[in-house]
C-alpha cells in the first residue's frame, strides 16, 4: 500500500512539474525533472522549512567538506523556498534572488566535492537553478495568472528583459 501511495505521489508531482514546464516554455530534461520531483517529496514534509536560516545551514555545510549531501540539502531547500514560498523571502526582507544565489552556490560547491558520479547532476542543478525556480513558481496555486518576479540576471537575460 505504501509503495502505491509513493508511486501515485511521484506521478502527481511529475505531472505538475511537466505542466509547469509547458506553461513557462521550459524543458528541464528527464534528470532535472526527476530530481525536482524527489526533492519535493523529500523536503515538503519538513515542518521546519519556512523557519530555516539558510545562510547558517550553508556555512555549517561548508564545515563538512567530505559531506556534499549537506550542501545538496541547502540547495534543495533554497530551491523550494524561492520557488514555492517567495512571499516568505519578502517577509525576511530579501528577494528570491538571495535564495537563488545561495542555492546555486550550494549545488556548485557540492559538484566540486561530490564523487564523480554525482558531479554532473549537481553541476546541472547549479546551472539550471533559476529555471527550476521558475518551474516551481508555476506549480503554485494561481501561478498561471502570475508573472515571475525577475530577480536573477541570467533568467532576465534569457527572457530578454535586460
**Which of the 8 DSSP states describes residue 150?**
-
C-alpha cell at 82: 524561492
pLDDT confidence of residue 6: 56
In terms of Cα–Cα distance, which of 74, 28, 36, 41 is closest to 55? 74
Query: Helix, strand, or coil here: 155?
Result: helix
Query: Helix, strand, or coil here: 92?
Result: coil
With both helix axes pointing from N to C terminus, report the angle between 68-84 and 30-43 in degrees, rounded to the nearest 10: 90
pTM of the model: 0.81
C-alpha cell at 129: 537553478
Question: Tens digit of pLDDT for each residue in 17-55?
Answer: 999 999 999 999 999 999 999 999 998 888 888 888 899
Query: Helix, strand, or coil here: 27?
Result: coil
Q: Where are the domains of the chain?
A: 2-159
User: What is the torsion angle, in degrees rounded to the nearest 10, for the CA atoms of residue 21, residue 161, residue 76 and residue 70?
Assistant: 150
pLDDT confidence of residue 49: 86
pLDDT confidence of residue 149: 47
Spans of the chain below 50 pLDDT: 145-162
pLDDT confidence of residue 144: 52
Sign, Cα dihedral of 136, 60, 53, 41: positive
Sign, Cα dihedral of 10, 14, 15, 17: positive
Residue 58 contacts residue 81 (beta carbons within 8 Å): no
Amino acid at each position: 500500500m505504501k509503495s502505491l501511495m509513493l508511486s501515485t505521489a511521484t506521478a502527481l508531482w511529475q505531472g505538475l512539474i511537466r505542466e509547469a514546464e509547458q506553461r513557462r516554455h521550459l524543458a528541464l530534461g528527464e534528470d532535472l525533472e526527476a530530481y525536482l520531483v524527489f526533492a519535493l517529496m523529500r523536503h515538503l514534509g519538513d515542518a521546519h522549512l519556512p523557519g530555516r536560516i539558510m545562510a547558517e545551514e550553508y556555512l555549517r555545510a561548508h564545515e563538512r567538506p567530505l559531506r556534499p549531501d549537506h550542501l545538496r540539502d541547502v540547495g534543495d531547500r533554497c530551491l523550494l523556498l524561492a520557488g514555492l514560498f517567495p512571499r516568505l523571502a519578502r517577509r525576511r526582507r530579501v528577494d528570491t534572488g538571495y535564495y537563488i544565489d545561495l542555492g546555486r552556490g550550494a549545488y556548485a560547491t557540492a559538484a566540486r566535492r561530490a564523487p564523480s558520479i554525482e558531479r554532473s547532476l549537481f553541476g546541472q542543478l547549479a546551472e539550471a537553478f533559476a529555471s527550476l525556480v521558475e518551474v516551481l513558481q508555476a506549480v503554485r496555486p494561481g501561478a498561471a495568472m502570475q508573472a515571475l518576479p525577475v530577480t536573477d540576471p541570467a533568467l532576465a537575460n534569457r527572457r530578454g528583459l535586460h
